[in-house]
Amino acid sequence: MVKVKVKLFAVFADAVGTKELVIDLSGEKVKVKDVLEYIRSKYPKFREVEENVPILMLVNGINVLPDDEVKDRDEVSFLPPVSGG
């Protein structure tokens, strides 16, 4: 079991209704994309927002890719870099 704290920013926080979640994921090797998939399945609005906004993914403050690993007690952040000017 891997317990991670998820921090959500801006429109992702709006979609989920909170800025912070603590989630438990089963399995030995958990990846960032598993965390994303969990949030998508629980919060359909997140998936809607995600279709129009790129995601900046961080694990413990370092930018990562969906296939990177997440360990127990890591902090995963999802931020929407915005593109208007």
The tokens describing 81, both together, are: 């870099």
User: CA 72 to CA 83: how far, in whole Å?
Assistant: 33
Residue 77 sits in the site that holds another protein (CB under 8 A): yes
The tokens describing 30, both together, are: 């958990």
Q: 44: Cβ–Cβ under 8 A, 6 or more apart, which residues?
A: none
- Judged by beta carbon, residue 27 or residue 85, the one nearer another protein is 85
Least distance (Å) from another protein to the CB of residue 43?
Answer: 19
Residue 23 sits in the site that holds another protein (CB under 8 A): no
Q: Which of 41, 42, 71, 82 binds another protein (CB under 8 A)?
A: 82
